[in-house]
Amino acid sequence: MIEPAHPGLSVTQQCELLGLPRSSYYHVPAPEPEENRRLMRKIDEVYLKYPFFGSRQMTRWLRRQGHDLNRKRVQRLMRLMGLEAIYQKPNLSRALAGQRIYPYLLRNLAVTQPDQVWATDITYVPVQGGHVYLCAVLDWHSRYVLAWELSNTLDASFCVRAVQRALARHGAPEIFNTDQGCQFTSAEFTAPLLARGVKLSMDGKGRCLDNVFVERLWRTVKYEEVYLKCYGSMVDAHAQLDQFFRFYNQRRPHSSLDDATPAETYRATRSVAVKP
């Protein structure tokens, strides 16, 4: 994908054309042992089906499948993958200083047009010798993936890049929904949206269905793309996911959209919405 000896384009220019941070090209992740990578793949599959499994229940489940492991190991791998059990919890945690939590605005809201509500989230993607994180911005009405980014770390910067790309391509939504993760409560993430007059909405603690359409997107991406491939590197993952999201947006029909594609629904209803 990247040609270091390209006669006309430097590595920096090639990364910019691909929308890939240059650091991602040079980064060599420290590999997890092969057994841990197999366990992480299994944990990811189980978590997609049962997102309410914490480390205790995940450990019990894996032991019943014949895996010899302890809870401490499962805890570390789930933490590395950014996974946490989804259930109602007492409010024992507080947002970091300067990070505001916004109320959930989508309950009983009829979403009838594109750019009314956008949403985003992060998921884990395995690559050879390690893993990366995927962030996508989704239009709720059409299921259209507006932008996406990969990163080898869980900081806020790659989420910000995805949102900035979506804003540059499609304008701004009325409401932007996220969970209460530190990436999305940071000023780095919220400031560009607030500057455009976007209303921020955040899922309730432990309420996975508040962001149900992004959760469904992850299920589709995992079962129709990620689990069928073995990405050799972050660059390979980027190239393969780029092809998949083009297919998902442009060619894959959705039963919930009367068998139309996300792109057809987004463009058709958007053109109607902007007519005087």
- Domain residue extents for the chain: 12-81, 117-273
Q: Are 256 and 111 in contact (CB under 8 A)?
A: no
Residue reference for tokens 């701004």: 172
Q: Are 86 and 179 in contact (CB under 8 A)?
A: no
Among residues 120, 108, 172, which one has the least CA distance to residue 147? 120
C-alpha to C-alpha distance for 267 and 143, rounded to whole angstroms: 12
Is the predicted pLDDT of residue 224 greater than 50, yes or no? yes
Query: Quick count: other Cβ atoms within 10 Å of Cβ 63?
Result: 14
Residues 6+ apart with CB under 8 A from 185: 95, 96, 99, 100, 101, 202
Is the predicted pLDDT of residue 85 greater than 50, yes or no? yes
State residue 206's pLDDT score.
47
Q: What SS3 class is residue 190?
A: helix
C-alpha to C-alpha distance for 66 and 38, rounded to whole angstroms: 13
State residue 81's pLDDT score.
83
Q: Which residues of 115-136 are buried (b: 16+ CB within 10 A; e: fewer)?
A: bbbbbbbbbbbbbeebbbbbbb
Q: Is 82 left (phi over 0), alpha (psi -120 to 50) or beta?
A: left
Higher pLDDT, 256 or 118: 118
Question: At the topology level of CATH, where does 117-273 sit?
Answer: Nucleotidyltransferase; domain 5 (3.30.420)
pTM of the model: 0.73
pLDDT digits 0-9 by tens, 199-219: 999 986 544 556 788 989 999
Is the predicted pLDDT of residue 20 greater than 50, yes or no? yes
Is the predicted pLDDT of residue 90 greater than 50, yes or no? no
Q: Give the mean pLDDT of the chain.
A: 84
